[in-house]
Structure 1
Amino acid sequence: MKVLVVGSNGQIGQRLIRLLKESSEHTVRAMVRKQEQADAYEKQGIETALADLEGSVDSIADAAKECDVIVFAAGSGGKTGDDKTLLIDLDGAGKAIEAAEQAGIDRFIMVSAIQANNRKNWHKNILPYYAAKHYADRVLESSSLNYTIIRPGILLNESGTGKVAAAENIVYGSIPRDDVALAIVKALSEKNTYRRTFDIISGNDPIDDALKKI
């Protein structure tokens, strides 16, 4: 599959692109906002497309042409305000979903947040972030796309273990970003993840097995 990664400069996005570049099953295109970002990826032999989540749906659809999957791993980041959370994590996700439909791409993987579906478990310090993730996920679930929504726990920068717990309802936990990126790659063609939404944290099962058990 050819995968368009939206959020290519994010920490999960960068890890995901490295995995896809090394894959024998998939190829990758990195969607970036700036030419210098594109140049940096092109020097690594990675195909890029220039588009901005604050731009038009048409521009995102153009970036996705000839791709088979869109992975939305973008986020406004902890240093921005609620306005960017709204524009990137919610409206940007909505635009990417519309772009997939416009470009005739059926498969869409969303990186969300643990318990985004369950308001009573939202962390009170980041309620706007959780609200954005919640409604972006609902837009995707109501779309025509063959979606997978992955809701990782607290994100860590330590090395991945390749072992996780994945289920439709996990209240709390953490997970290395390495393992989130690997779970995305594994989910691309794992039919048990089609039209499914689940939480994922560090655990005892190899990622392949965990995804088959959700």
Structure 2
Amino acid sequence: MKVCVIGANGQIGKQLVQLLRESEKHDVRAMVRSDEQAQALRENGIDAVVANLEGTVAEIAEAVNGCDAIVFTAGSGGHTGADKTLLVDLDGAVKSMEAADIAGVNRYVMVSALQAHNRENWNEKIRHYYVAKHYADKVLMDSNLTYTIIRPGGLTNEKGTEKVTIAENLPRATVTREDVAKTVFASLDLKNTFNRSFDLIQGEDEIKVALKQF
């Protein structure tokens, strides 16, 4: 499976690109925002394309053309305003879904946020972020794409444990970025994750076991 990672220069994206690169059953294409980022990836032997989520759907469709799956790990970042969050995390995500349809890419994995589906449990300090994630997820669920929506808890940079808890609704807790990337990787071709969404936090079950039991 050829997988296009949108947001490949982000912290989760970088780890996922490496997992895909080392995989024997998947190939990777990294979508990034700048020529400098793309060149650095190419120098490491990684197929990289430049496209902007604030650009056109056609531009994104060209970037993902020839891939079998898309993973959306992009985000505006914690230092931007609400306007940029809506442009990237919501509209950019929706554009990538439209681009997937145009390019004939059927599989789509979204990295969302814990409890994004539950308004009552949103963090008030970043409510705009949850609004973006909530509605991007809804558009994905209403699309014709074969989706998986992964809603991780608070992200940490600690070493991954490869032990997680997966469920439809989980309390607020943390999970390592490494384990999020590994969960995304494991879910790509796992059919019982197709057209499903779930919260993800650190736990006691091995990732593949947790996914298969969900």
Tell me if the contact between 1:121 and 1:171 (Cα under 8 Å) persists in the aligned partners.
Answer: no
Aligned partner of 2:13: which letter?
Answer: G
Partners of 2:20 and 2:139 in 1: how far apart?
A: 27
| TM-score after normalising by structure 1 | 0.99
Tell me if the contact between 1:51 and 1:63 (Cα under 8 Å) persists in the aligned partners.
Answer: yes
Where do 1:60-139 residues align within 5 Å?
A: 60-139=60-139
Partners of 1:172 and 1:150 in 2: how far apart?
A: 14
Please tell me whether residue 47 in structure 1 is matched to residue 47 in structure 2: yes
Partners of 2:190 and 2:122 in 1: how far apart?
A: 29
Partners of 2:206 and 2:150 in 1: how far apart?
A: 16
Partners of 1:173 and 1:50 in 2: how far apart?
A: 34
SS at structure 2 position matched to 1:53 = coil
Aligned partner of 1:88: which letter?
Answer: V
Aligned residues: 214
1:144 maps to what in 2?
Answer: 144
| TM-score after normalising by structure 2 | 0.99
SS at structure 1 position matched to 2:130 = helix
Aligned partner of 1:190: which letter?
Answer: L
1:209 maps to what in 2?
Answer: 209
Residue 171 of structure 1, CA deviation: 2.3
Q: Over aligned residue pairs, what C-alpha RMSD do you find?
A: 0.5
Partners of 1:175 and 1:118 in 2: how far apart?
A: 19
Residue 53 of structure 1, CA deviation: 0.1
Identity within the alignment, %: 57
Aligned partner of 2:155: which letter?
Answer: L
Tell me if the contact between 1:85 and 1:132 (Cα under 8 Å) persists in the aligned partners.
Answer: yes
- For structure 1, the residue ranges without an aligned partner over 5 or more in a row are none
Partners of 1:24 and 1:181 in 2: how far apart?
A: 17
Tell me if the contact between 1:41 and 1:47 (Cα under 8 Å) persists in the aligned partners.
Answer: yes
